[in-house]
Amino acid sequence: MSALSALPLSGQIINLLAAVLLLISFAMLVQRRILSLIDLFAAQGAVLCLSTVLVAVTTGQRHLYFSAAITLVLKVVLLPWILHRLIRRLNVKWDVEGLINIPTTMLVGIVVVVVAFNLALPISQLAGTLTRPTLGIALATVLLAFLMMITRSKAVPQVIGFLSMENGLFFAATSATYGMPMVVEMGIALDVLIGMIIFGVFFFQIRTQFDSLDISHLEQLKEK
């Protein structure tokens, strides 16, 4: 409690937003409805945007305002809109085919978070930023997103997991070094947008070929 109370109010709010980000990651991990999963991804982007703005206000790092604007436009508005349109066109509502059940997934997720905090502890002690206590949460967000990717059999949730992993990496960069250079962030944003378009084409090709978005059908191509 003494370490927490020693933080300024802005630092405590950033820690709170980091905790919310982690809770959203857990919700995404166990969510089976694809539309709700997209909404959670948009909420994750909104929390990331608020956290970035708060870090910018507290530290005076002006480039973080542009980072927050990119996050708002791309991850809160544009990508969720594209994903919702894809889901409507593909007529996909549910993703009930997880590789493991929800209780087991939650237990594995808790273990992943513990491992992430232990891995991030020595790095956060070396960092001199205001947001260094959130580095463990950033790493946990990345690992939970990766866990979501490997425990889903549908293509759409795996893509959302990939996008959530990028959110965690961005939050880690903000926690460790107050963000990345603007050129790098613009390049990453463009890559994510182009990747989303390619994934959209990929979804339609799978649906047309197999009448399903289950990626296990791709094994048939290997046999041929």
CA atoms within 13 Å, Cβ hemisphere of 56 = 16
Token output for 10: 């802005």
CA atoms within 13 Å, Cβ hemisphere of 125 = 5
Residues of the chain with pLDDT under 50: 1-5, 183, 210, 213, 217-219, 221-224
- Residues contacting 75, CB < 8 A, separation 6+: 41, 42, 44, 45, 48, 49, 163, 167
Q: Is residue 224 part of a domain?
A: no
Q: Is residue 198 part of a domain?
A: yes
Q: How many other CB atoms sit within 10 Å of the CB of residue 132?
A: 17
Q: How many separate domains does the chain show? A: 1
Q: Is residue 1 part of a domain?
A: no
- Residues contacting 14, CB < 8 A, separation 6+: 51, 54, 55, 58, 130, 131, 134
| Whole-number pLDDT of residue 42 | 93
Q: Is residue 222 part of a domain?
A: no
State if pTM tops 0.95. Answer: no
If we measure between CA atoms, which residue out of 110, 12, 1, 111 comes closest to residue 54?
Answer: 12
Q: Is residue 158 part of a domain?
A: yes
Cα 209 from Cα 85, distance rounded (Å): 20
Q: In which domain, by residue range, is 54 found? A: 9-214
Q: Is residue 18 part of a domain?
A: yes
Residue 100 Rama label (left phi>0; alpha psi -120 to 50; beta): beta
The percentage of residues in the chain with a pLDDT greater than 90, rounded to a whole number, is 13
| Whole-number pLDDT of residue 206 | 56
| Whole-number pLDDT of residue 58 | 82
Q: Is residue 220 part of a domain?
A: no
Cα 224 from Cα 217, distance rounded (Å): 12
At 91-127, the pLDDT tens digits run 766 655 666 788 888 899 999 999 988 888 877 666 5
